[in-house]
Every structure is written in structure tokens, then in C-alpha cells.
Amino acid sequence: MVPQDPPTPVSHSLGQPKGPAIEESPETFFARFRAYTVEAHLFPEPWGSPVLEAMVQGQILYAFDRGAPPAPTGVVPMLLHGVVRQAKPLEGEAFLKREGASYRLGGRAIPLGEGFYLLQAPVPVVVYAEVPLPEEAEVLLWPPLMLFRE
């Protein structure tokens, strides 16, 4: 028998999931959270880019398209989703702002179960958090913000 080296421990860095999958497929995720869709105006998709520009309730957002290509233009129902990187209690009014490739937003966090929350910022976003969020939360999301559509 040939001696073997002990297994190398795997760190849980970005790109290596720590727990169960957050979604089964884009279609099932959209169906599960359909009640939280909002109407958005999608601008023409840049050639070959998976990032869409959308105007939602007066806010311009850039989000990774999780729908089947090609992306439509005009007004469509869509769902925004993000994974929480940092969270803390909200101090002040609800807000949404972009920080580089990430978004920071704050608002009322309504539990949806299994680590999901509806964060009622100026634009509603379904977020996933590994730790419970306070009732009024400020979160920094991991990039990218994701856009689900039919």
C-alpha cells in the first residue's frame, strides 16, 4: 500500500459554496418569488453582455440577467435578487446606492423563510442572508445584483 498525503482542507472563499444551493434554477427561483416582482423598463442589451440596464421605480440599476436570451426591451415584470455580504441595523431612511460592482441598500427586512428576506428599499430586492437580518436592515450585497425575468 502506497502512503497518501492527508486531504488538503478547502477554505470557503468567494466562489466556493458554504451551504446548500440558493436556487434550483432561474425559472424555479422566479416562480418561487413571483409575488415580489416589479415592473421595470429594460434597455437594449449590449451585444454579448450578461449585464442589463433597468429603470425600476425611477432608479437605474445594472444587474446580471438570469433570464433566457435574448433579453426583451421595454417594460417587463422582473425580480431583483442579491446575496448579503455584510448587514447591520439601518440608521435613517431606506436607500439604495451602487458601490463599484456592489449595491448597498437599506429598508425594512421581511422574512420569507430559509434565509430569504424581502428588503423594502426604494426598490424591493429579495436577498439571501446566512445570518438573521434585523427588522430594519442595511446590507452590502455581493456582486452581481441578479435580475430574474420570464
> What are the residues facing 117 on neighbouring strands?
111, 127
Q: What is the average pLDDT score of the chain?
A: 88
Distance CA 149, CA 60 (A): 17
Residue 86 has pLDDT above 70, yes or no: yes
Can you tell me whether residue 31 is helix, strand or coil? helix
Q: Which three cell numbers stand for residue 105?
A: 441598500
Residue 24 has pLDDT above 90, yes or no: no
Which segment of 9-23, 47-61, 111-125 scores lowest on mean pLDDT? Answer: 9-23
Q: Of residues 38 and 18, which shows the higher confidence score? A: 38
Give the distance, in angstroms, between the CA of residue 36 and the centroid of all CA atoms in the same chain.
Answer: 13
The pLDDT value recorded for residue 4 is: 52
The pLDDT value recorded for residue 70 is: 87
The pLDDT value recorded for residue 105 is: 97
Q: Which three cell numbers stand for residue 24?
A: 434550483
